[in-house]
Amino acid sequence: MRKKLLLLSVGWLVCSFGVGQNPVTGKLTLEEAIKIAHARSPQAQMVQLSFMSQYWSFRSYKAQLLPSLNLSGNLGNYNRSLVDVRDPETGRISYVANNTLSNDLSVYINQKIALTGGNVSLNTSLARLDQFSYDTKTYNSNPVTINYTQPLRSFNTLKWQKKTEPLQYEKAKKQYLESLEGITLQTTSYFFSVLSAQTSYRKSEENLRDTRGMYKIAQQRHDIGTVTKSELLQLELSMMNAELTVSNSKVDLEVALFNFKSYLGVAESTFFELQPPMNVPEVFMEYDFVLNKALQNSSHNLSLKIKELNSLKSVAQAKADRGIQVELRANLGFSQTGDDLQGVYSRLKDREVVGLSLSMPIYDWGMSRGRVKMAEAEARLARTELEQEETKFQQDIRIKVMQFNNQARQCNISAKALQVAEERYDITKKRFQNGGITVTDLNTAQKELDSASEQYINQLRTFWNAYFELRKLSLYDFISKRDISAEFDKIVEK
């Protein structure tokens, strides 16, 4: 690429920012801007916090499957009041004074059973009742008690969570990487917005200098009669328009810089040079390879699986809630009462409580049946939507691959067009100085050069946007040829 092309496309970008205690200096490439955005931008922090929320949600789910040790009790329950007492022989109710203090404490280990949906617990408890009116105290102990609760027809929530929660966490990992790639895309957009505004500003300054020079030459030629008054006025008008363009493009550049620095989350402390990615890498993408990587690495497949499982879960829950509900309860252990602690832990008595509880709607006007049918219809609708999403996903990748493979050629054509426009403008400017062409021809060549310069930057922007979009879809780096990953353990430890 010629030196003048580099001058038009690169230029110096005067702005400032620092990263932590180490300010950035020198040239800032697109890759370095992306690294800064990943490390410092508010969006990156939001992505990290979102992933940590999903991580702790998964940890909470796993904790449900582990035994939990709990302590509960009621301490210092003092009761001084009148209570009603019924005589067992006559049935007469009378009120007597009550003056008691009760305390109880229990420790229990609780374990949920995901396979059956049951719950088992191992419990030990001790209670003390002080009756001050009779100057007595009574202890009640349950040294060892095993409780088991088992729904026989109810919906097993843990069973379905065991299927969906690991997928949700894996999906969160993929979405974290995809969100970072989304930050990459946005950073690229801001980067090229600044680059485009910078190029327009520098080009408008050059145009203004050239127009002023041409206007002076035109004045001299007007004095000797080789340029008409109309042509001189036309060039003067072009000069004033160029001054307006410089002013407007300067404001556009300042706005683009402000948006760029705000998105990166950086401080204004040092100067740096913005260096555009002038060299387009030679990357050719094959649709089948990109699709396989997308299905393997992205969150798309996991999202479809989770949606399918949730639809099946709704059907299973609707069927489980229909008809008779039965629950088995068992309580086995030992207990004893006594006047002192030694007495309540000796000669323990067996304690067995076993029973079934059930409920069954006799007639609900078809409500349960309607819920099942509705859940089944929604499951069929979900399957149809999933098939459409899968087809749309594949079509989207196919289109993006075709567009990307064509974009490299577009960049090369635009670079050549810019080079031709530069040469044409140089020739036209010299011919005008020599009196060979009119002001209109000079303005036309200048506009063509401006258009070619802007088109080249836009083609570069389109190329990198297309590349990063496919990288986000596939979570694969096609330049370094490796899957995109992250050290999630370190993310959680932050």
Six-digit token string for 250: 């300067």
Q: What is the pLDDT of residue 26?
A: 57
Per-residue confidence (pLDDT) for residue 125, from 0 to 100: 93
Rounded to an integer, what distance in angstroms lies between the CA atom of residue 126 and that of residue 103? 8
Please give the pLDDT value at position 10. 38
CATH number of 26-61+162-308+378-493: 1.20.1600.10
End-to-end Cα spacing for the chain:
45
Instruction: Write down the pLDDT at residue 12.
Output: 36
* Distance from C-alpha of 452 to C-alpha of 63, rounded to nearest angstrom: 62
For residue 274, give the 3-state DSSP assignment: strand
Q: What is the pLDDT of residue 272?
A: 62
State pTM to two decimals: 0.79
Between CA 47 and CA 265 the distance in angstroms is: 14
Instruction: Cite the residue boundaries of each domain of the chain with CATH code 1.20.1600.10.
Output: 26-61+162-308+378-493
In 3D space, the residue among 137, 144, 74, 40 whose CA is nearest the CA of residue 352 turns out to be: 144
List, in sequence order, every beta strand (DSSP E) within 276-392. Answer: 325-338, 349-359
**pLDDT averaged per 10 residues in sequence order, the chain, 494 residues:** 37 36 60 91 92 92 90 92 86 88 94 89 93 89 92 86 92 94 93 85 81 78 74 79 84 86 76 72 90 92 91 87 84 87 84 84 77 85 88 93 89 85 82 71 77 83 92 92 88 75
Q: What is the largest CA-CA distance in the chain?
A: 139
Two structure tokens written together for 365: 């006007």
Pairing of strands 26-28, 267-274: parallel
Residue 436 amino acid letter: G
